[in-house]
Structure 1
């Protein structure tokens, strides 16, 4: 985890929290995700003529990731529909790093050293603290929590699949462009079928916000994919989920959700974990 890789992943975390907040802001979640996923497809298609074609070994990962991302979008839409942004987002993102650590050890043969493992553990403790604080003062909404946990599992799955795929591709830009082109087709296609004859009319009022979200989404994941070619998967996954702190702050400022001292403490644990991962690097 060099300073450059760390900076790239932290920037990805901020942009990721931004596009998730935009998706949550659009009341009709299908509208939001149609614009974000469809916009990502358009950006990917526009980039394809200018980037390297992924190597043959990357294509099984690309197709698998595209399917997993569709599942992820569906689960994330359900999470946002059922729960508060400050609750659903931390739980969805906070469950992924430890699962990625285990999967990366099995499939990528990446076993973190003691410093990296301590950093990942501290970061996950901070992320869990943010998630639990989101449940404070209200009865648990188990359907929302279940959807958010399932979203976290899908995040862990595509993180490992894409980490292996982008390394096999020979080009992080090529892999990113083709992944965006493939993964974003399903949801707009479903929306077009559902809103037959009214597709453009339904989307037009939210087009600017949704397409900005698409730019942020593609930028965020492109940075992560590049980072995965330069560092191990588990520390990147833990560092990327610092977006939870940004998401909690966005929830407090824009959606009037509580932040509170426990979330500040959780943020402190996350920063300490990042420091240990940098020491490992």
Structure 2
């Protein structure tokens, strides 16, 4: 991996942490997430329409991705309503690759290497330590199941997207359609669960939501580009530095508590994820 690609991947990791931070600080979390989803959907549609249309057998995969991504957005929103960015993000981001690896090993008969096994142990220890900090610091315990729910949804849509994109033969178009369908599903779900008040957003929420959408799509685009310039395993491992960025943003910008336990848990999660990707 060249030095410039390395820097771009770090930038993508920072952008991913930033869009989550913008949702966290954007007033109404559900409204901010609605704006992020809508912005991503419009960008995704514009990209998708520039490519050949999916065949009929691909649409069930696109709709499935949209449904699962909607669950991901809801779980993540609820988690941020309950807890700190520096607590929620590492659990949600770190548990997803752990779930994918375990499902692959048991359900798909994937071979798990010694390094990946070590990564599972380290990653699991980090997640347990991060979750245990909720109990000892008097934070809302509800954030843990919501953060884990978003991780399960991330793992699920990753598997669906990977399969659907392979079948379609055009991953960029597949993700574009998936994001657009997600925005179509998430909007009525958000209104149905929270009422029409979610459509009333102040200027700050609009700003943060739309900036979050731009940061989200740009982070993904940089990552996809980087995977054409460097080994995919290196790119995906380096992207997990977003966990450290999220912890630092929570501490420096939001004044969230950063004890040794949280810092150690974040390092273990990053280290574990990197090991599972090597």
TM-score, normalised to structure 1, is 0.78
- Alignment of 1:256 with 2:255, yes or no, is yes
Q: Distance in 2 between matches of 1:126 and 1:6?
A: 25
Structure 1 residue 212: deviation in Å? 1.4
Structure 1 residue 145: deviation in Å? 1.9
- Specify whether residues 163 and 128 from structure 1 end up closer, same or farther in structure 2 by C-alpha distance, changes over 3 A only: farther
Structure 1 residue 75: deviation in Å? 1.2
Larger CA deviation: 28-37 vs 160-169: 160-169
Query: Retained in 2: the 8 A contact 1:89–1:244?
Result: yes
Q: Where do residues 197-216 of structure 1 align in structure 2 (5 Å cutoff)?
A: 199=199, 202=201, 204-216=203-215
Structure 1 residue 267: deviation in Å? 5.2
Q: Distance in 1 between matches of 2:117 and 2:274?
A: 12
Aligned to 2:78: 78
Larger CA deviation: 48-57 vs 90-99: 48-57
- Specify whether residues 119 and 192 from structure 1 end up closer, same or farther in structure 2 by C-alpha distance, changes over 3 A only: closer
TM-score, normalised to structure 2, is 0.79
- Specify whether residues 275 and 25 from structure 1 end up closer, same or farther in structure 2 by C-alpha distance, changes over 3 A only: closer
- Alignment of 1:243 with 2:242, yes or no, is yes
Q: Deviations over 1:29-73 (max 9, x none)?
A: 121011100001111112123234446654332211110111111
For structure 1, the 5+ residue unaligned runs are none
Query: Retained in 2: the 8 A contact 1:55–1:170?
Result: no
Structure 1 residue 182: deviation in Å? 1.0
CA-based RMSD of the aligned residues comes to: 3.5
Structure 1 residue 227: deviation in Å? 7.9
In the alignment of these two chains, the number of paired residues is: 272
SS in 2 for 1:95: helix
Aligned to 1:158: 157
- Alignment of 1:176 with 2:178, yes or no, is no
Query: Retained in 2: the 8 A contact 1:13–1:220?
Result: yes
Q: Where do residues 8-27 of structure 1 align in structure 2 (5 Å cutoff)?
A: 11-27=11-27
- Alignment of 1:149 with 2:148, yes or no, is yes
Q: Deviations over 1:198-252 (max 9, x none)?
A: 94x63544322211110122233445667899757xx94x765442221111100
- Specify whether residues 205 and 39 from structure 1 end up closer, same or farther in structure 2 by C-alpha distance, changes over 3 A only: same
Q: Distance in 2 between matches of 1:56 and 1:128?
A: 43
Query: Retained in 2: the 8 A contact 1:103–1:160?
Result: no
Query: Retained in 1: the 8 A contact 2:26–2:32?
Result: yes
